[in-house]
Amino acid sequence: MEHCGLSHILQEPDKYNPDTLDLLVDDEAREYWLNTCERLVERNVNYALANTDDPTVEIRALKYKTCYVEALKELRVNPVAHGQLTIRLLLDINETCLRSQGFFDLWKLQKKFDNERALAVFSSRLAEIDAIPNDRQRWIELCRGVLAGNMFDCGAQAVAAILDCGLYGALQKIQSRPWLYDGLDKWLDKLETTVHRCAAIFVDNSGVDIILGILPFVRALLLRGTAVILCANEWPALNDVTNVELEDILQQASLICPILSAALAMGDLVVRSSGQRGPCLDLRTISIGLSSEMKMRGVDLIILEGMGRAVHTNFKRVNTIFAVDSLKLAVVKNAWLAQRLGGPLFSVIFIYEDKPIQTKP
């Protein structure tokens, strides 16, 4: 069923299919992702045991492991057990198994720590950006900041070594230009000719990602006169920021940045739930309220951030044709997927697409 307002952001809502890979027909990808998810189980169990004081944690962790491993075994034998098989489904099943054993927010304390640490250097990052005199160069640094921030993903084993290095360590790791998908110049050219009315940004991780990557980018949009809807997960998944957590982050950030404070007070900057319960994005399941607000505000720019929202889902233009301008921003933190896409680990996805030209019937 099409939600209210979906036709405003999608050119052909009835043809929309969020999933990039169909694991029913791609045998190599199916084998890889089933194996990857099995390794994810062990990591989640170890993390739960190390970070949870509850005396029941061991038995709950074992039950979670059994739940997910059995689900993966079933999918090996019968891939069509759920009617479809995608990365989105595999990640959603993992979250369901975690929640069934009371692990509703496994990364809660880590997110809190990461947010506090990022907020401590938020002011200096804004000052650093403001010190860049050239507008185009400033936007390049803002975009690089979003990409570097997206490295801080607790769901990606490849980034474990840099999680303590901060934004500047991450900036050294991302791919040098030209990027694997490099639409940066096209985006910068657009900024010189257009001021968007309202941007809806579907955000990803807590900590460095949201605070030092996304918020400076948001602030720059606000300074141009673009209103912003920050769309965050309804439920916790990995270290993704939730809408409730983001409300709190913005209140703290607004004490540091008068521009964010003013935008919040005027309603030009708002946080909304995306309605999602996992790390991917299915626009068919966003709330009616968010769909209606995007239509009411005249959203003319959609920004998808992170692998879950912009690579595992909504990556293929043939399946996801936006009716408005769109940006897809991510760093590929999975070596197999980077190779499949034709690039090295930490390849950059920076895709800017103008809204389709309307043709007269």
Query: 122-130 and 215-224 are packed helices; what angle lies between their axes, rounded to 10 degrees?
Result: 50
Intra-chain end-to-end CA distance of the chain, in Å: 26
pTM, whole model, 2 decimals?
0.96
pLDDT in tens, 137-156: 999 999 999 999 999 987 66
Q: Please give the backbone phi and psi of residue 302, each rounded to the nearest 5 degrees, phi first.
A: -110, 130
pLDDT in tens, 79-93: 999 999 999 999 999
pLDDT band at 287 (very low <50, low <70, confident <90, very high): confident
The pLDDT score that the predictor gives to residue 7 is 81
pLDDT in tens, 321-336: 999 999 999 999 999 9
CA dihedral 15, 19, 23, 27 (to 10 degrees): 90
Mean of all residue pLDDT scores within the chain: 94
d(CA 83, CA 78): 10
The pLDDT score that the predictor gives to residue 270 is 98
The pLDDT score that the predictor gives to residue 52 is 83
> Residue 4: exposed, middle, or buried by beta-carbon count in 10 A (0-12, 13-18, 19+)?
middle
Sequence-ordered list of residues with C-beta below 8 angstroms from that of 234, at least 6 positions apart, any chain: 242, 243, 273, 274, 275, 276, 277
- pLDDT at residue 2 greater than cutoff 50: no
Q: Which token pair is 138?
A: 């400033």
DSSP 212: I
DSSP string, 225-270: T-EEEEEEBSS--TTBPBHHHHHHHHHHHHHH-HHHHHHHHHTSEE
pLDDT band at 162 (very low <50, low <70, confident <90, very high): low
The pLDDT score that the predictor gives to residue 161 is 63
Cis peptide before 236 (omega within 30 of 0): no
| Domains of the chain, first to last | 6-17+108-353 (3.40.50.10880), 27-100 (1.20.1700)
In order of 231, 261, 270, 314, the CA distances from 1 in angstroms are 21, 38, 27, 18
d(CA 91, CA 72): 11
- pLDDT at residue 160 greater than cutoff 90: no
The pLDDT score that the predictor gives to residue 258 is 98
CB 69 within 8 A of CB 76: no
